[in-house]
């Protein structure tokens, strides 16, 4: 029994590390990396923060629908900064969203990162951008409900077969 408890502790300790391996620092030029990697593909870019209750609600919606997204069709960016990496990792693990591309603001000036994403965005969260295959995008402030996400999935080629 002690060996089983030890192995369980090792597995649990490794979970946040696995999420961190997928958590990238968002800095100057990161948005270009994200869009270039998805050339010709629609995707949903979601900005969130651990201190944002509506963001947590939206993360729950994304968790519910995560199996309908292709891996590259959902990109999550936490605006919390590198100092909060462990908390962000935990939230991603709790919502089972670590398998998607995840970023974390890496600049000491979040305003600079927000401006890079959208000069007209003033930091309200949650914030999302629906990119079509030509990378024309529509920004939305406020929580995306499951129906809005489903409609986007239906309109794009991002939906995986059920």
Q: What is the percentage of the chain residues whose pLDDT exceeds 70?
A: 83
- How many Å separate Cα 44 from the centre of its chain? 9
Q: Report the predicted TM-score, pTM, of the whole model to 2 decimal places.
A: 0.84
pLDDT band at 5 (very low <50, low <70, confident <90, very high): very low
Over range 39-63, report the average pLDDT.
Answer: 97
- R_g over Cα of the chain: 16
Q: What is the rounded average pLDDT for all residues in the chain?
A: 87
Task: Compute the distance between CA of residue 9 and CA of residue 51 in angstroms, rounded to an integer.
Answer: 28
Task: Give the pLDDT of residue 2.
Answer: 58
Reading across the β-sheet that carries 137-141, which strands appear in turn? 23-26, 101-105, 74-78, 43-48, 127-131, 137-141
List the CATH code of the domain at 23-155. Answer: 3.40.30.10
């Amino acid at each position: 029994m002690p060996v089983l408890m030890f192995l369980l502790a090792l597995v649990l300790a490794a979970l946040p590390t696995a999420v961190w391996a997928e958590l990238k620092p968002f800095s100057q030029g990161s948005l270009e990396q994200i869009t270039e990697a998805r050339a010709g593909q629609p995707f949903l870019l979601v900005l969130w923060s651990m201190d944002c209750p509506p963001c947590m609600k939206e993360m729950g919606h994304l968790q519910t629908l995560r199996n309908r997204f292709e891996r590259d069709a959902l990109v999550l960016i936490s605006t919390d900064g590198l100092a909060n990496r462990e908390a962000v990792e935990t939230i991603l693990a709790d919502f089972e969203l670590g398998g998607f591309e995840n970023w974390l603001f890496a600049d000491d000036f979040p305003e600079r990162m927000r401006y890079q994403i959208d000069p007209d965005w003033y930091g309200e969260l949650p914030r999302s951008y629906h990119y079509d295959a030509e990378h024309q995008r529509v920004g939305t402030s406020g929580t995306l409900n499951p129906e809005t996400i489903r409609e986007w999935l239906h309109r794009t080629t991002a939906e995986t077969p059920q």
